[in-house]
Structure 1
Amino acid sequence: MKKLIFDPPCVSASVSCMDLLHLKEQILETEQSGISFFHYDMVDGKFNHCFILGDTLLEMMRSEVTLPIEVHLATYDPDSYIERYAKLGADYIAVHYEAMKHPLKTFDLIRKFGAEPVLAFKCGTAPPDDLLSLAKEVPWILKLTVNPGFSGQTLKKESLLHIQEIRNRLQTAGLPTHIQADGNVNILTIKLLSQSGADIFTGGTSGLFNSNNSIKQNRDLLLDSII
């Protein structure tokens, strides 16, 4: 397992927004840009009405990547995919609160196969009563700020309020858990996300892979926009 060395604020790269026809070249450029890890979305067609990034691509990608890979299982049956994705190269596996019947057992299953669990929430899901007990089990919480799977969506304002509440509850409890914001992260939204409490930002089409600049320039612009 490749552990993430935290130095927040940091940027991760959404693989689904990369140039998949030239993925090897994009991986090299993305790694040289100063990002912290790759964010790999697997959407099963039920969690949202699309299919993206299956297991075969992860297997091919792993041999080219030196940074950690976070696999985001946007699926209603995460336990059935954990072993395969962990063995194919996932260092971190994000599983959804909305999809887990027994979160602690799912987290243990992820650890059993050599990865580390991440707790994920849809953009419309408010922080639940058991947030803190689950936050103790993970290095960070993945909060979607758009619906999973489709690029080009706009930031859902309710997700900002959820991030604020998560951050307030974590701070009150003295927990060091990080918060990752994923969806419509760009130079216009990243400051709002940071002020709300996020400190990991997943860059996609409108931010990290904006075609007007190089990936490194976009990464630097994103971080500079927080200040």
Structure 2
Amino acid sequence: MVKISPSLMCMNLGKFEEQISCLNKKIDYYHIDIMDGHYVKNMTLSPWFIEQLNPYTSIPTDAHLMVTNPIDYVDQLLELNVEVISIHAEHLNGHAFRISELLKKHRKKMGVVLNPETPLNVIADFLHLIDIVTVMTVDPGFAGQTFVTESLEKVRQLKISREEQNLSFEIQIDGSCNEKTYKQMIDAGADILIVGKSGLFNLDENIENAVTMMEKNLTAAINL
């Protein structure tokens, strides 16, 4: 089964405890979008949010750094026991070997994020260091954007490269993961789907009902 990672910038923060309590029973990761208003023109969650989340869950967190200087956040996120630190390829380039060594020392995972326009050759020289490759199927920074189908070819190529090079990284998709796209994403080779408003939180006001609907949609897509 594909793994599920809810994007918590899309949750109802007014029902924080209720929603986290329900999700804790059902999901594999929590996806935390950290934006500084510079790398993308939006501001959402922060390391402070992870600090508030930690007492309520043992689910591993994946911090997606959409910030101008992501390397500056790494030590703070390690102190918060973040499981995966995901950095956009253009910012990880030049730091990948050092950051990989640091994260392995702390037994944490290094993620790299590819925008729709970012070619795979940008990460070719350090692909063997990566634990999770996140393929953006929307432009970064905002929820509810149009699905970029062209990004699925990148997922297919990553799957081929993983097999040819005998690597073990997981392929994660971020953007428009919902009942209309699940099958395409899974068929392309996705291991982890990041679900936001259209895939989870807007399905029903009641989080338990929303999770049930998400699971039914996912199962239907897998069985098609």
- What's the TM-score, normalizing by structure 2? 0.89
Q: Take 1:82 and 1:64, find their aligned partners in 2: how far apart are those partners?
A: 22
Match of 2:103 in 1: 110
Residues 56-114 of structure 1 show CA distances to partners (whole Å, capped at 9, x for unaligned) of: 11101111012111111112311100111221231111111111222111222334455
Matched, 1:153 2:145: yes
- Note the 1:203-218 alignment, pairs <5 A: 203-212=195-204, 213-218=209-214
- Note the 1:5-84 alignment, pairs <5 A: 8-32=1-25, 34-84=26-76
**Root-mean-square deviation (CA), in Å?**
1.8
Match of 2:136 in 1: 144
How many angstroms does 1:181 deviate by?
0.4
Say whether the 8 Å CA contact 1:82–1:109 is kept in structure 2: no
Q: Take 1:126 and 1:192, find their aligned partners in 2: how far apart are those partners?
A: 20
Say whether the 8 Å CA contact 1:208–1:219 is kept in structure 2: no
Q: Take 1:47 and 1:165, find their aligned partners in 2: how far apart are those partners?
A: 27
Q: Take 2:34 and 2:51, find their aligned partners in 1: how far apart are those partners?
A: 13
Taking only the aligned residue pairs, the percentage that are identical comes to: 28
Residues 6-27 of structure 1 show CA distances to partners (whole Å, capped at 9, x for unaligned) of: xx41111111111112211110
1:200 to 171, 186, 192: 192
Say whether the 8 Å CA contact 2:5–2:194 is kept in structure 1: yes
**Cα pair distance change 1:82/1:124, threshold 3 Å:** same
Q: Take 1:219 and 1:190, find their aligned partners in 2: how far apart are those partners?
A: 11
Matched, 1:224 2:220: yes
Say whether the 8 Å CA contact 2:203–2:213 is kept in structure 1: no
Matched, 1:95 2:87: yes
**Cα pair distance change 1:226/1:196, threshold 3 Å:** same
With 185-194 and 72-81 compared, the bigger mean Cα shift is at 72-81
With 77-86 and 206-215 compared, the bigger mean Cα shift is at 206-215
With 210-219 and 188-197 compared, the bigger mean Cα shift is at 210-219
How many angstroms does 1:180 deviate by?
0.3
Say whether the 8 Å CA contact 2:109–2:132 is kept in structure 1: no
Q: Take 1:156 and 1:224, find their aligned partners in 2: how far apart are those partners?
A: 22
- What's the TM-score, normalizing by structure 1? 0.88
Deviant stretches of 4+, over 4 Å: none
**Cα pair distance change 1:126/1:63, threshold 3 Å:** same
Extract unaligned runs of 5+ from structure 1. Answer: 1-7
Say whether the 8 Å CA contact 2:33–2:44 is kept in structure 1: yes
